[in-house]
Amino acid sequence: MTTLTQSVARPRATTAPQRVRRGLSGKVASAVAIVIAVLWTTPTFGLLLSSLRPEDQIKSTGWWTFFSDPQLTLENYQQVLFGTSSSSGQMASFLINSIVITIPSVLLPLALATFAAYALAWLPFRGREWIYIGIFALQIVPLQMALVPLLSFFSQGVDVFGVHILPAWDLEGPGRFVQVWFAHTCFALPLGIFLIHNFMSELPGELMEAARVDGATHGAILRKLVLPLVGPALATFGIFQFLWVWNDLLVALIFAGGTAETAPMTVRLAQMAGTKGNEWQRLTSGAFVSVVIPLAVFLSMQRYFVRGLLTGSVKG
Amino acid sequence: MDFDFAAEQPKLVQLLIGIAAFLVVVAVILLLVDRAPMRRRAWTHATILLLPAIVLLAIGLVVPAVRTTLLSFMSGDGMRWVGLDNYAWMFTQPEALTVLRNTLIWVLLVPLLVTSVGLLYAVLVDRTRFESLAKSLVFLPMAISFVGAGIIWRFVYAYRADDQDQIGLLNQLVVALGGEPRQWLQDPPLNTLFLIAVMVWIQAGFATVVLSAAIKGIPAEIVEAARLDGASPTQMFFRVTLPSIRSAVIVVLVTQSIGTLKLFDIVRTMTGGQFDTSVIANEMYNQAFRYGETGKGAALAVFLFALVTPIVIYQIRQRREVR
């Protein structure tokens, strides 16, 4: 901590933007920066430490007592992950659900958005501008607006003026995953097509033209030329979609139900927070289990994510 | 370990089916595109590539949006037309008005706080030796689900009676300073502010990263010139830094407003909307999926749509200007 303070406060070889900072700098400024960093880190740290403390201790003393009376255990994780009683958490089951939900819900929109973006960026057909604008505009529709009708689409099929056009899906058990994949795929497409299209339309057109003159089909151009080049855009959207699906509560609550058969971890955690608000040993370890995978993905892919974020937002 | 792996197998089978379906879809589309002769006009290819996405968008977004709008003029069971009754309920009943008031507080405070904290932090850590570590620390909550964050913060706000040891950090601090422990999440209207703190905690990292990149993009000559003219630090910030990163600030404000309007998970996990903390998105879920009041839920969703639309249109215009 002290080294951080010193390095922030000490004037070093300055570049112009640094002077902007130093304008606000000095001891107060670095103190503020440290306070923010501590404020932002402490809650998560407290959760992690708590999840490792024995049950009676979590419930009777604050996690900071760990420093005077260190006791750690993996008991909470054992219980919350693998316990079989209905009150234990059964997180392992819900963890598997989360994985089963996430993989197709990332792959499908990624592929479909890439195809659509390619067509919109590189195929000269009439009305493509309008289709593109239409898809972009669909970002306006809040998820909340789509939920009730989409649910009835799954459970009752489609009727037009009393004529049954599509049957109900009547999905039961693991089949309900299909609904969730379907919903996530639909909801992800506007943003996905938009992001990938932005990136794709900046590829040099001569490249495609040359390939076509050589007799390559659109399929071949897509596979061999475009895909390797739009890698960064796909990575950005993939991470984004992964985090969104993994962390989603609303779509899962409605389309996956609430049981260990299909519901993801977020749903389980929300249930536990509602009904067992005082079972801190399970809440903390459960929350940490749900946080670990996205954190790992996020940390290892942070660079791509930030890059994509910036091309998408700042440059416009 | 009494975990039953056999019981999990149907799920994994389902996952394999899902992945197989994905591969089939991709293969079929690529095959069709390859088979369609290149000589033909582009729209054959375009149709093959676009059709799946457009069909899904129609089923998943367009038709539902239209139907929800219709539902909002119908009774809860969707059997008869009730005109504007649902909207009248939204703007007159005290409980619905509380929801609107809360949403207003959220959408005014969150973008403002997120942007100011993000900007302050970005300026403070800019070009320091620990910049990337410092930014990562604040950026991390972005990866945590709102539900997970809700639990983290419920723990911070946890309450124990006066005579017991506190386990929540906030009450511990209050007690250490000689105060009385409080049930932070149960006294309106302050509890809404405590929920808002969670949202700010999650989102500030996003603002930091975006704004920090913008700050680094300020041309050095401008800063140099301002310094030569003898600008004070405060002048520097308000006359040079802030105007130069205006478009990035707007991007952050806009995305935060949209995200805040649709916010649902934090409220649901932390209070369930009790103690006067509900917001539009949460109330919409309650009405439509818990009380079976589809009409009221739909009206709330349409209202949400009406609130989001101008912000998104503004964003599109901004993008055009930047280009």
CA gap A310, B211 in Å, rounded: 10
Which of A297, A268, A300, A298 is closest to A285 using CA atoms? A268
Band of residue A110 on the pLDDT scale cut at 50, 70, 90: very high
Residue A165, classed as helix, strand or coil, is strand
Domains, chain A, ranges and CATH?
28-72 (no CATH), 90-312 (1.10.3720.10)
Residue among A15, A37, A173 minimizing CB distance to B127 = A15
What ipTM was predicted for this assembly? 0.83
Interchain pair A142, B305: CB under 8 A? yes
The residue in chain B having the minimum alpha-carbon distance to the alpha carbon of residue A267 is B147
> Min CA distance, A8 vs chain B (Å)?
6
Residue among A39, A250, A262 minimizing CB distance to B264 = A250
Residue among A103, A145, A280 minimizing CB distance to B15 = A103
Band of residue B200 on the pLDDT scale cut at 50, 70, 90: very high
> What is the DSSP-derived secondary structure letter of residue B291?
S
Tell me, what amino acid is at A260?
A
B137: contact with A, CB 8 A cutoff: yes
CA gap A310, A305 in Å, rounded: 9
Q: A179, A169 in Cβ contact below 8 A?
A: yes
Q: Which two tokens stand for residue B214?
A: 């913008």
* Separation of CA B317 from chain center: 21
Backbone angles phi, psi at A114, to 5 degrees: -65, -45
CA distances from A153 to A164, A264, B221 (A): 12, 22, 59
- For A235-280, how does the pLDDT look when each residue is reduced to its tens digit (9 = 90+)? 888 988 998 999 988 899 888 877 778 889 998 888 888 766 567 8
The residue in chain A having the minimum alpha-carbon distance to the alpha carbon of residue B128 is A8
Distance from the first to the final alpha carbon of chain B: 59
* Best to test chain A binding among B12, B147, B198, B323 (most A CBs inside 10 Å): B147
Burial of B38 (C-beta count, 10 Å sphere; 0-12/13-18/19+) = middle
Upstream peptide bond of B189 is cis (omega within 30 degrees of 0): yes
* Amino acid B130: pLDDT: 82
Q: For chains A and B, what is the number of CB pairs under 8 angstroms?
A: 414
- For B67-119, how does the pLDDT look when each residue is reduced to its tens digit (9 = 90+)? 888 888 887 776 778 878 888 888 888 888 888 888 899 999 999 999 999 99
* Amino acid A314: pLDDT: 45
Backbone angles phi, psi at B207, to 5 degrees: -60, -45
* Amino acid A7: pLDDT: 38
CA gap B169, B151 in Å, rounded: 13
CA gap A274, B269 in Å, rounded: 7
Collect all residues of chain B within an 8 Å Cβ-Cβ radius of residue A93.
7-8
Collect all residues of chain A within an 8 Å Cβ-Cβ radius of residue B130.
4, 7-8
Mean pLDDT to the nearest integer, B41-64: 87
Domains, chain B, ranges and CATH?
8-85 (no CATH), 92-322 (1.10.3720.10)
- For B136-159, how does the pLDDT look when each residue is reduced to its tens digit (9 = 90+)? 888 888 888 888 898 889 888 888
Tell me, what amino acid is at A105?
S
pTM: 0.84
> Min CA distance, A208 vs chain B (Å)?
13
Beta bridge partners of A159: A164
